[in-house]
Structure 1
Amino acid sequence: MSIKDDVNYIKNELSNEEKFLESFVKTERFFKKYKNIIFVLVLVLIIGTIGYFIKNGVDKSNLYDANVALNKYLETNDKQALEILKDKNKNLYEIALYLDAKKEQKNSDISLKYLKDILDYQVAVINSNSNELDVLSKKSDFLLKDYAIFNRALILVNDQKYVEAKELLEQISKDSRASELANLLKHYLVTK
């Protein structure tokens, strides 16, 4: 029995080695057939990873430089810092323009939609410009629409146009934060 077991053991070992060699040959054929594609994919992966880390580092550096430039501009009103800000981070540049225009109470060429709308609203309120407030309140996506309507009503009250102010206050929705102010003004207008 022992010779028979030994022969079976040797057969199994040869079969296992044969399977190993067969899989090795298949792998080698596959690699030879697709070695250029595999090489290109590995190269693209390595270059992509390096590029990602370089871009991430440059973005962090630009953000830091932009924040330093914004702080310098806000503290010293340095125009060179504003130019650096314009090159490094367009959004922070727009914020600097907004803050500058707000300080001077004037409109500015800001391309960020919501900042532009808020600036236009603030300038219109400061200048008591009813026409500008009307234009802003008619924009469907304006953030401060109800406050613009309320401020238009205040301007009308100051001009003693009470009926028009009452009609305008009715346009403010009941679930708006400005409805409380509108209700106070409506109570004042009851006697007018």
Structure 2
Amino acid sequence: MSLKENVDFVKNELNSEEKFLESFVKVERFYKKNKTLLIAAITIIVIAVIGLSVKNYLDEQNKIKANIAFNKILNDVDNKEALKTLEETNKKLYNMALYLKAKQTGESTNVDVLFFNSLSKYQNALKEQNLNKLNDVSMDSNFLLKEFALFNKALIEAKDGKFEDAKVTLKLIPKESKAYELVRILNHYLLTK
């Protein structure tokens, strides 16, 4: 290496070190200027992480308690302690437990769980032979037994002598439905009316 190359090499090295020190000084100035803001941000992040961890842990513990309580309810619907635990930890499971209890005792109840709510309304409408309630249930897009609700509505209409209404109701049930065989039988009966 020539002397000139050595000098250039040393200049480049010094220049690199100078840039490094310069950036270090900038970072140090920024830190001193915003020290409290940085500490506050780091503290908030740490507290948020700890808070989320605690919340997830408590949610998991509530889920475990609710599952244990629901298993107790499945074995004994009259278990008041398990019902209270469900009411405190999981409202949906609590409503399902109330539905199971009402089902076992033969009572009717309103439940606030999507499919059980519709099923409960359907059972109440059938029990009361109420056409308006059956109509409301059959119009619910989330109801799984929509075609059976329509069929039961037509059956009640036929019993009440409203044969034309029953025929119109039966036309609402698609041919692909599992209830269509029942529809054919009732339509055959309605031909004579």
TM-score range, shorter chain: 0.7 to 0.9
Matched, 1:85 2:51: no
**One-letter amino acid matched to 1:74:** L
Distance in 2 of aligned mates of 1:160 and 1:181: 19
Q: Could you say which residue in structure 2 is the equivalent of 1:70?
A: 70
Q: Deviations over 1:10-65 (max 9, x none)?
A: 22222121111111111111222222222222112211111111111111110111
Q: Could you say which residue in structure 1 is the equivalent of 2:190?
A: 189
Q: How far is 1:151 from its partner?
A: 0.2
Distance in 1 of aligned mates of 2:32 and 2:111: 59
Secondary structure of 2:28 counterpart:
helix
Q: Could you say which residue in structure 1 is the equivalent of 2:39?
A: 39
Q: Deviations over 1:130-164 (max 9, x none)?
A: 44323433x45452443222102122334555343
Quick check: 2:147–2:173 contact (8 Å CA) kept in 1?
Answer: yes
* Normalised TM-score (structure 1): 0.84
Q: Deviations over 1:55-96 (max 9, x none)?
A: 111111101111111111221221121011100111100111
Greater Cα offset, 139-148 or 111-120? 139-148
Long gaps (5+) in structure 2: none
Q: Sequence identity of aligned pairs in percent?
A: 43
Distance in 2 of aligned mates of 1:47 and 1:148: 54
Distance in 2 of aligned mates of 1:8 and 1:132: 93
Alignment RMSD (CA, Å): 2.5
Matched, 1:104 2:105: yes
Matched, 1:154 2:118: no
Quick check: 1:63–1:89 contact (8 Å CA) kept in 2?
Answer: yes
Secondary structure of 1:172 counterpart:
coil
**One-letter amino acid matched to 1:190:** L
Greater Cα offset, 60-69 or 159-168? 159-168
Distance in 1 of aligned mates of 2:45 and 2:185: 65
Long gaps (5+) in structure 1: none
* Normalised TM-score (structure 2): 0.83
Q: Could you say which residue in structure 1 is the equivalent of 2:166?
A: 165
Quick check: 2:110–2:121 contact (8 Å CA) kept in 1?
Answer: no
Matched, 1:6 2:22: no
Quick check: 2:110–2:120 contact (8 Å CA) kept in 1?
Answer: no
Quick check: 1:136–1:142 contact (8 Å CA) kept in 2?
Answer: no
Q: Could you say which residue in structure 1 is the equivalent of 2:135?
A: 134
Secondary structure of 2:34 counterpart:
helix
Distance in 2 of aligned mates of 1:177 and 1:151: 14
Distance in 1 of aligned mates of 2:122 and 2:13: 86
Q: How far is 1:176 from its partner?
A: 4.7
Q: How far is 1:120 from its partner?
A: 1.4
Matched, 1:22 2:17: no
Distance in 1 of aligned mates of 2:81 and 2:135: 38
Q: How far is 1:125 from its partner?
A: 2.3
CA gap of 1:42–1:177, structure 2 versus 1, over 3 A, is: farther
